[in-house]
Structure 1
Amino acid sequence: MELLDRFKDYCVENELFATSDKLLLAVSGGRDSMLMATLFLKAQINIEIAHCNFGLRGQESDGDEALVRDFAQRHKVPFHVKHFDTVSYAEMHKISIQMAARDLRYAWFEDLSRELSCRYIAIAQHKNDHIETVLLNLTRGTGLQGLQGIKSKRDNIIRPLLFLTAAEVTSAVEELKVPFRDDSSNFSTKYARNKIRLDIIPQFESLNTDFIDTMDKNIQRFQENYVLLQSFIDPLRSQLFETDTEGRWKIKKEDLSRQNISLLYALFEPFGFSKRTLEDLIQTLEAESGRIFESKEYQLLLDRTYVLLKKKDRLATELEVSEDATVINWLDKTFEILLSEHTEICPDVQVAQIDYNRLIFPLKVRPWQEGDVFYPLGMRGKKKLSDYFVDRKISLFDKKAIPIWVNGNGDIIWISGYRLDDRYKITDNTQKVLTLVCK
């Protein structure tokens, strides 16, 4: 069967896209992505090309960009390029250059695909990449989920070359005379994936010449076993994990204490918690509430009778509010800021009416801090915010996401959505009212 027919059949069998869809192709200039672009052109699919220039290899990077740009222009395909300061991003986020490049490119692909109304983003990974991913996961420690390799389709990301081995890609590029450039960094074994590709896999192939195909069949069986396991785990997870209005989950401590660690690992596997973290959780179930356990993207909070689970929030920062501000955004909340002379009281807890003449600008909006105190409206004396949150049974998860409005002199003005500070209430002597409306 000709390569183009195999390509079309693979896309149809795996329902990667409809022929009417517009696709965004991630094209680096290497042989894999250039072959993918060539096959899409031959299949007459509506495509646009995106190229990332990470600026890591000087003239080499610019040469890659020039090759892809020329290819797109010759074939009258819309071309998009983005230049990144990859090193600065990696240093800022304290991650590796490879991880920084991955984060930057996928974020841009997502934004660009929405802007261009592209249904899917096509990535040119092949069967060898699939095998390398499994071997890399094994070296780092993984469960059955990590043995599934690369999915041909996940959300809006498709990988239409997974039916080809690296050798078949090379052969096809030569036969079709596809232009490409080799990335010199792909030949450096200082990167773990390259070491697996250049050193480890050839050793396996010396034992089994069909190692890639054998591993591909193994992964298919891993995937089938994973589906079978999930048919048992998913109903149990739905039974134990209660959802709340905030899209979080809560699990009764007593229910968790009944499960063995292997079952717990399977239940929490989609959230990325290690077995050791779950063992620590079980050992501290009866300890004082407030302890937090983390995976890369999720958090578990030990509460009174429940263990709470949620996706990590964006980092809450301190925001200055100038005297002329009318609208500000803080995390997922928007505040309207109004100035008037109306002193009629509004009972809505999402509205704060403040004596304007007591304010010192700029104001600040920030998360709760240890040691914060305020004078609750209608009460005598001050109270620690931590004690106030305990009285209101507000969990550590929730209190970190509550906006605290602070005056220029450091006084707390308003715990947004909960309580105004008594010192800043409007009185019979108030001439101007600053109204904050939380949405």
Structure 2
Amino acid sequence: NLSDNVETVLFRMSRGTSAKGLCGIPPVRDNIIRPLLTCTGEEIRQACKNSGIPFRTDSTNFDDSYSRNHIRQNIVPLFKKLNPSFETTVSRMIESINEDESFINSVGNDCYEQCFDNGSLNVLLLNSYDVAVAKRVIIKYLSAYGVAVDDYHLGGIIELIKSNGKFQIANDNFVVCEKGRLRYAKMNQTVDFDNLFVNKQIITNEEFLTNCKLLREKFDFFCDCDKISGNVYVRGRTENDKISPAGRGCTKTLKKLFNELGINVEKRACVPIICDDKGVIGVYGYCVDERVKPDSSTKNILLLKILLED
């Protein structure tokens, strides 16, 4: 009833809420219909008395150790001293907020259709919207991943879309802003590098050149076997890893290389890094280090195929 709705709105206000929270209890939700939502509790009780309809009052309603009861017994009466029609006034406010919320959501849905594409949001368009609309677009986008956001995290995402980077929502749930797109990312993707299956073959350079096309399709990494220092092993990247990509004439961190290659941040921990006893000799599937690249003097080629899953 209306009294319940007023108590709900006051309770949400005391804890902090958005316009959606101030919309109160909906008259219809799924298969639930609330026909008495515009009537106060007192009006319902008086109608029952006038019609001789018996009703029961729950004795726990008078225990104001419960938050809702405290609002009913102590807070609402104070407002009624200021305005005897307080509940009716709040009802009109709820109706007005619902109208505004419905309109903004409608605009938000239209804007979502404009800026959503291929699993991400267009940041340029998102920044062009009014912040109230942009927030609703973000809420709708994240809800598809089962992620709910509060005002604090919405504010953080609004700041994020003005630059590049990532923002943590909760646990391993992140949003990433890069290359003009905002997307959801799950940051718990990892690989057990101690239990990889590595298919390793060593062949002559002549054999490699003869079957180059076929071998390149079968193997995702190759290098000059005789230039390797010590043992070859596969691991995940570390913070200070660097590589000199063959033919590039420069040395860079793997972080910078991954940025250039467009590897999503949530997938970077899964990319195998190939090393020998001197350091990184390659990024599996992407590049080989200048130090071990094949050239005209190469005699033997090391080929690697790494299986990340059974």
Q: Normalising to structure 1: TM-score of the pair?
A: 0.40
Match of 2:152 in 1: 276
CA gap of 1:240–1:176, structure 2 versus 1, over 3 A, is farther
User: 2:191–2:308: 8 Å Cα contact kept in structure 1?
Assistant: no
Is 1:189 the equivalent of 2:64? yes
Which AA in structure 2 matches 1:251?
L
Which AA in structure 1 matches 2:235?
K
Give the distance between the partners of 1:254 and 1:383, measured in 2 at CA.
38
User: 2:104–2:133: 8 Å Cα contact kept in structure 1?
Assistant: no
Query: Sequence identity of aligned pairs in percent?
Result: 23
Offset at residue 149 of structure 1 (A): 1.0
2:236 to 372, 384, 399: 384
What SS class does the counterpart of residue 102 from structure 2 fall into?
helix
User: 2:176–2:183: 8 Å Cα contact kept in structure 1?
Assistant: yes
What SS class does the counterpart of residue 91 from structure 2 fall into?
helix
Match of 1:251 in 2: 121
User: 1:265–1:275: 8 Å Cα contact kept in structure 2?
Assistant: no
Which has the larger displacement, 141-150 or 377-386?
377-386
Offset at residue 375 of structure 1 (A): 2.1
Which AA in structure 2 matches 1:199?
N
CA gap of 1:278–1:230, structure 2 versus 1, over 3 A, is closer
- Structure ID, larger Rg: 2
CA gap of 1:395–1:251, structure 2 versus 1, over 3 A, is same
User: 2:38–2:91: 8 Å Cα contact kept in structure 1?
Assistant: no
Which AA in structure 1 matches 2:21?
G
Deviation sequence 1:32-78 (CA, Å, 0-9, x none): xxxxxxxxxxxxxxxxxxxxxxxxxxxxxxxxxxxxxxxxxxxxxxx
Offset at residue 258 of structure 1 (A): 4.2
CA gap of 1:394–1:372, structure 2 versus 1, over 3 A, is farther
What SS class does the counterpart of residue 378 from structure 1 fall into?
strand
Which AA in structure 1 matches 2:168?
I
Aligned residues: 214
Match of 2:41 in 1: 166
Deviation sequence 1:154-211 (CA, Å, 0-9, x none): 1233323323311123234444443535142x32333332222111111111222222
Which AA in structure 2 matches 1:378?
N
Offset at residue 287 of structure 1 (A): 4.5
CA gap of 1:294–1:421, structure 2 versus 1, over 3 A, is closer
Offset at residue 420 of structure 1 (A): 4.3
Which AA in structure 1 matches 2:196?
Y
Match of 2:104 in 1: 229
Offset at residue 139 of structure 1 (A): 2.1
Which AA in structure 1 matches 2:199?
G
Alignment of 1:89-108 (within 5 A): none
Q: Which runs of 5+ in 1 are unaligned?
A: 1-125, 313-366, 401-418, 425-439
CA gap of 1:375–1:205, structure 2 versus 1, over 3 A, is same
CA gap of 1:156–1:376, structure 2 versus 1, over 3 A, is farther
Give the distance between the partners of 1:192 and 1:241, measured in 2 at CA.
41
Offset at residue 304 of structure 1 (A): 3.7
2:8 to 92, 112, 133: 133
User: 2:5–2:24: 8 Å Cα contact kept in structure 1?
Assistant: yes
User: 1:264–1:278: 8 Å Cα contact kept in structure 2?
Assistant: no
Offset at residue 257 of structure 1 (A): 4.1
What SS class does the counterpart of residue 308 from structure 1 fall into?
strand
Give the distance between the partners of 1:378 and 1:168, measured in 2 at CA.
79
Offset at residue 212 of structure 1 (A): 1.4
CA gap of 1:309–1:382, structure 2 versus 1, over 3 A, is closer
Match of 2:27 in 1: 152
User: 2:24–2:94: 8 Å Cα contact kept in structure 1?
Assistant: yes
User: 1:256–1:282: 8 Å Cα contact kept in structure 2?
Assistant: no
What SS class does the counterpart of residue 36 from structure 2 fall into?
coil
Is 1:210 the equivalent of 2:85? yes
Which AA in structure 2 matches 1:161?
L
Offset at residue 292 of structure 1 (A): 2.4
Alignment of 1:36-115 (within 5 A): none
User: 1:375–1:383: 8 Å Cα contact kept in structure 2?
Assistant: no
The structure with higher relative contact order (CA 8 Å, sep 6+) is 2
Is 1:301 the equivalent of 2:175? yes
Deviation sequence 1:293-317 (CA, Å, 0-9, x none): 249xx9552154332248x9xxxxx
Match of 2:243 in 1: none
Give the distance between the partners of 1:378 and 1:176, measured in 2 at CA.
86
What SS class does the counterpart of residue 209 from structure 1 fall into?
coil
CA gap of 1:259–1:229, structure 2 versus 1, over 3 A, is closer
Deviation sequence 1:396-435 (CA, Å, 0-9, x none): 39x99xxxxxxxxxxxxxxxxxx8469x7xxxxxxxxxxx
Q: Normalising to structure 2: TM-score of the pair?
A: 0.54
Cα RMSD of the aligned pairs, angstroms, is: 4.0
Offset at residue 372 of structure 1 (A): 5.2
CA gap of 1:215–1:283, structure 2 versus 1, over 3 A, is closer
Give the distance between the partners of 2:139 and 2:18, measured in 1 at CA.
8
Match of 1:375 in 2: 196
User: 1:250–1:309: 8 Å Cα contact kept in structure 2?
Assistant: yes
In the TM superposition, structure 1's runs of 4+ consecutive aligned residues that sit over 6 Å from their partners are: none
What SS class does the counterpart of residue 199 from structure 2 fall into?
coil
